[in-house]
């Protein structure tokens, strides 16, 4: 249970003119990386069908939130953005530049001196400075663009470990993103961090604890995990499910979990390989329980990072399952928090070129096929099925239209057809949705620029 504010502290705050809440203020931001509106719709149907229904009438947990807005996702210098520019906008209130993390938008990509001269304070840094508990959860690498945007400042999102930072930038004083996490100096440090990405923190001669044939990526010989452990009292580090299960939430101390050398496994693959790492629901539950045991309140960012990666691979099955799992994490967060003192926001950093088309009947498997009307079609294409889901570009392109009559398009490894050949499918530039509930959520409405999400989050956290 949370401690009550003492009478003396209450009197002091009243005489100082400070607003007082009987309970701490908490903000949880769920960020579905690449979770555009077509992804939300398809995931809704998929979740409903997994539950045994037709799907179209299903309701995701975050779709019950009473406050909704459409969010413009452009970057300073791009019509279609990346995750660094968009999450930087959410975290700082300033439009981001393509590929750049939390630096004034006047600074060009790869400009190390400019980045050092003009960093922008993030919401998580501000929360730490104000005495809040803070946390990061991601199914991607901790140093990947979205989680990195909560704590790092870099002229390039690619500078995840030291070997990726150009020698000239090193001489000018720029350091890699993994090192920035370990050297984070705001407040008393981030209380809970759970993600993938061990290899960015380990030296090139250090074998991975789970995969002995793999090694770290750092060329400076440093073991940043050990450095993190040694730089604070009572810190705990875990890297697999058994160690994670042994953690006791809410007992104080800072926790770091890095569960894969790179990104965490897709949910579909995690289940098939023995579940040796926690899923996003379990990570969310631990993070909330660990952070909620404090008078001041907390800020927690939770990223469903692999939605984006599956879309880049033209693989709708994994993208939709990742979205469903993030929604289940949202549902668990609702159960664990008090709507009177906790605002939960769910949004995306950008969309993808992912479409839902044709005229399939109600309840048709969302990963399945549909045989179109034959009127007006070329004779050779009559009665030939095609998938409801497709991509405008990506690795699913085929020079000749495929015959899917004997293909299982619901197979998790199936890649949906793409209209233009690319090794990696691209982001989409249309608006994404934001959903919010709890104190301060009423500020989220209309059609807004992405940087305005910062205002909503900050106002809820700091009672502005």
Q: Which residues are designated catalytic?
A: 83
The two three-digit tokens of residue 178, written as one number: 């993994």
DSSP element (H, E) containing 456: helix 452-462
> Pick from 25, 3, 31: which is nearest to 453 by CA?
31
194 alpha carbon, distance to own chain's centre: 12
CA dist., res. 248 & res. 330, Å (int): 21
Let me know: does 108 contact 114? Beta carbons within 8 Å: yes
Query: How many Cβ atoms sit within 10 Å of the Cβ of residue 358?
Result: 17
Longest dimension (CA), the chain: 84
Let me know: does 30 contact 345? Beta carbons within 8 Å: yes
Q: Which residues make Cβ contacts (< 8 Å) with residue 300, sequence separation at least 6?
A: 26, 27, 28, 29, 134, 135, 136, 137, 192, 287, 288, 291
188 alpha carbon, distance to own chain's centre: 24
> Pick from 237, 238, 194, 201: which is nearest to 216 by CA?
201
The two three-digit tokens of residue 176, written as one number: 């890699």
H helices of 30-80, in order, are 37-50
Q: Map residue 403 onto helix, strand or coil.
A: coil
Let me know: does 200 contact 222? Beta carbons within 8 Å: no
The two three-digit tokens of residue 146, written as one number: 């979205």
């Amino acid at each position: 249970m949370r401690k009550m504010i003492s009478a003396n502290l209450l009197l002091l705050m009243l005489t100082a003119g400070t607003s007082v809440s009987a309970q701490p203020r908490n903000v949880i931001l769920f960020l579905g990386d690449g979770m555009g509106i077509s992804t939300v719709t398809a995931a809704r149907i998929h979740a409903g069908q997994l539950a045994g229904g037709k799907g179209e009438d299903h309701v995701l947990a975050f779709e019950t939130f009473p406050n909704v807005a459409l969010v413009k996702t452009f970057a300073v210098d791009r019509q279609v953005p990346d995750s660094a520019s968009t999450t930087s906008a959410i975290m700082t209130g300033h439009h981001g530049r393509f590929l750049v993390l939390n630096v004034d938008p006047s600074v060009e990509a790869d400009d190390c001196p400019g980045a050092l001269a003009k960093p922008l304070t993030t919401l998580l840094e501000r929360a730490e400075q104000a005495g809040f508990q803070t946390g990061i959860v991601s199914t991607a690498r901790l140093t990947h663009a979205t989680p990195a945007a909560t704590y790092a400042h870099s002229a390039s999102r690619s500078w995840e470990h030291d070997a990726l930072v150009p020698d000239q930038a090193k001489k000018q004083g720029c350091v890699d993103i993994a090192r920035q996490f370990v050297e984070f100096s705001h407040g008393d440090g981030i209380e809970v961090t759970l993600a993938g990405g061990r290899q960015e923190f380990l030296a090139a001669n250090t074998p991975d604890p789970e995969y002995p044939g793999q090694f770290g990526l750092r060329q400076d010989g440093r073991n940043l995990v050990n450095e993190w452990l040694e730089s604070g009292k009572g810190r705990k580090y875990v890297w697999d499910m058994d160690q994670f299960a042994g953690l006791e939430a809410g007992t104080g101390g800072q926790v770091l979990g890095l569960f894969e050398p790179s990104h965490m496994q897709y949910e579909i693959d995690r289940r098939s390989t023995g579940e040796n790492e926690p899923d996003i629901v379990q990570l969310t539950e631990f993070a909330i329980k660990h952070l909620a045991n404090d008078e001041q309140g907390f800020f927690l960012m939770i990223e469903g990072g692999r939605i984006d990666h599956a879309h880049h691979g033209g693989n709708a099955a994994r993208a939709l399952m990742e979205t469903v799992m993030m929604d289940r994490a949202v549902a668990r967060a609702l159960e664990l928090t008090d709507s009177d003192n906790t605002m939960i926001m769910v949004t995306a950093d950008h969309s993808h070129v992912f479409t839902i088309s044709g005229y399939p009947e109600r309840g048709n498997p969302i990963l399945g096929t549909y045989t179109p009307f034959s009127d007006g079609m070329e004779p050779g294409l009559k009665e030939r099925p095609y998938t409801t889901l497709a991509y405008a570009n990506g690795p699913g392109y085929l020079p000749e239209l495929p015959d899917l009559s004997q293909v299982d398009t619901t197979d998790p490894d199936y890649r949906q057809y793409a209209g233009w050949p690319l090794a990696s499918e691209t982001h989409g530039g249309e608006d994404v949705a934001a959903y919010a509930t709890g104190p301060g959520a009423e500020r989220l409405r209309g059609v807004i620029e992405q940087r305005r999400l910062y205002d909503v989050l900050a106002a809820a956290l700091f009672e502005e």
